[in-house]
């Protein structure tokens, strides 16, 4: 079985050597044909030089250099497109995720799963802030989106050819790859592991990128924020109705300042109407957005065909 390992690398010059050595050990153990695809995502250090060196020493290594920094998810996509394997593994260059877990992943795939992802039960060497925000991110994302995206996972996963082809059919630009694999819908399973600290270098996800990444993810898998105005408008109109009762009661029972009743009612009612019309716009914009993505409507998981001639089937 042909295996592809795809690794996006940005400014990882100190880690490439160790990475290739460790991955080669695993592919050697598996005695399978394999390729290790290293994608240089517009690095400004010597990452590409290291990749070139690795290509010279190991026949398994394939180097792909992007013209500029396009971000982790696009770099990963470039590697996935180039992959030729029947099974494809995705892993970060910093060896925070143990590639040795692949043995278990392959085992699960042999048992019929299409996607085996790693689930972090512990993150070592990461700040409390990063852990807390990541924790929150997966919970909010799941509350917002219509599909279930596995929590506390990264892009560390093994997928088969069928699932990869499905995901590659999705042409969208804002790519949240772990969500796209979940959305594709094939048989998935998680394996728990402890995430180690980075071997070399430092994180390429500063707060700014993390925020952009989460907004990409939430908008890619949910139009609920757009529809928020509709919900608020119902609340607002309900409050306006309650206020109308109160205002008329005050008008009849007490002396009120002239003009008070009409102003209060107008403000309450028209804020409700405004939110409602905004919400209606949101509903349309949301649908336009989904349509504009041009995602495939469905993927076929298996296909069974009977070889019997049609006439025989009819009489059976």
Binding site for Mg ion (CB under 5 A): 92, 94, 96
Q: What's the min distance (Å) between Cβ of 202 and ligand UDP?
A: 7
Q: What's the min distance (Å) between Cβ of 127 and Mg ion?
A: 13
Site residues for ligand UDP, 15-44, by CB under 6 A, read: 41
Q: Closest CB to ligand UDP among 46 and 185?
A: 46
Q: What's the min distance (Å) between Cβ of 192 and ligand UDP?
A: 17
Q: Does 77 bind ligand UDP (CB under 6 A)?
A: no
* Residue of 10, 16, 166, 180 that binds ligand UDP (CB under 6 A): 10
41 binds, among ligand UDP, Mg ion, none (CB under 5 to 8 A by kind): ligand UDP
- Distance between CA 94 and CA 123 in Å, rounded? 14
58 binds, among ligand UDP, Mg ion, none (CB under 5 to 8 A by kind): none
Q: What's the min distance (Å) between Cβ of 136 and ligand UDP?
A: 15
Site residues for ligand UDP, 92-111, by CB under 6 A, read: 92-94, 96
- Residue 245: exposure state from Cβ atoms within 10 A (0-12, 13-18, ≥19): exposed
Over 161-182, what HEC string results?
Answer: HHHHHHHHCCCCCCCCHHHHHH
Q: Does 75 bind ligand UDP (CB under 6 A)?
A: yes
Q: Does 50 bind ligand UDP (CB under 6 A)?
A: no
Q: What's the min distance (Å) between Cβ of 141 and ligand UDP?
A: 15
Say how many residues touch ligand UDP, by CB under 6 A. Answer: 16
Q: What's the min distance (Å) between Cβ of 37 and ligand UDP?
A: 12
Reported residue count of the chain is 316
Binding-residue pattern over the window 177 to 216 for ligand UDP, x denoting contact by CB under 6 A: --------------------------xxx-----------
Name the site residues for ligand UDP (rule: CB under 6 A).
8-10, 12, 41, 69, 71-72, 75, 92-94, 96, 203-205
């Amino acid at each position: 079985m042909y295996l592809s390992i795809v690794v996006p690398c940005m400014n990882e010059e100190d880690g490439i050597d160790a990475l290739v050595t460790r991955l080669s050990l695993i592919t050697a153990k598996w005695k399978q044909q394999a390729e290790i695809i290293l994608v240089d995502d517009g690095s400004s250090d010597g990452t590409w030089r290291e990749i070139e060196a690795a290509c010279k020493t190991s026949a398994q290594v394939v180097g792909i250099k992007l013209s500029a920094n396009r971000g982790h998810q696009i770099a990963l996509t470039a590697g996935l497109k180039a992959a030729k394997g029947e099974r494809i593994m995705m892993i970060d260059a910093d060896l925070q995720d143990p590639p040795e877990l692949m043995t278990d992943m392959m085992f699960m795939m042999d048992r019929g799963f299409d996607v085996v992802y790693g689930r972090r039960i512990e993150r070592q060497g990461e700040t409390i802030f990063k852990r807390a925000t990541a924790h929150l991110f997966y919970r909010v994302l799941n509350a917002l989106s219509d599909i279930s995206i596995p929590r506390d996972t990264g892009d560390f996963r093994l997928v088969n050819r069928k699932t990869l082809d499905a995901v590659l059919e999705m042409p969208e630009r804002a790519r949240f790859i772990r969500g796209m694999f979940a959305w594709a819908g094939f048989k998935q399973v998680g394996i728990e592991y402890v995430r180690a600290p980075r071997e070399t270098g430092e994180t390429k996800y500063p707060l700014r990128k993390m925020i952009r990444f989460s907004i990409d993810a939430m908008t890619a898998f949910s139009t609920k924020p757009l529809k928020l105005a509709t919900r608020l408008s119902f609340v607002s109109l309900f409050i306006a109705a309650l206020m109308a009762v109160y205002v008329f009661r005050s008008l009849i029972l007490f002396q009120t300042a002239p003009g008070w009743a009409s102003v209060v009612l107008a403000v309450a009612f028209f804020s409700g109407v405004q939110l409602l019309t905004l919400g209606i716009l949101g509903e349309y914009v949301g649908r336009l957005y989904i349509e504009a993505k041009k995602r495939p409507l469905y993927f076929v998981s298996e296909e069974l065909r009977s070889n019997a001639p049609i006439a025989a089937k009819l009489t059976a």
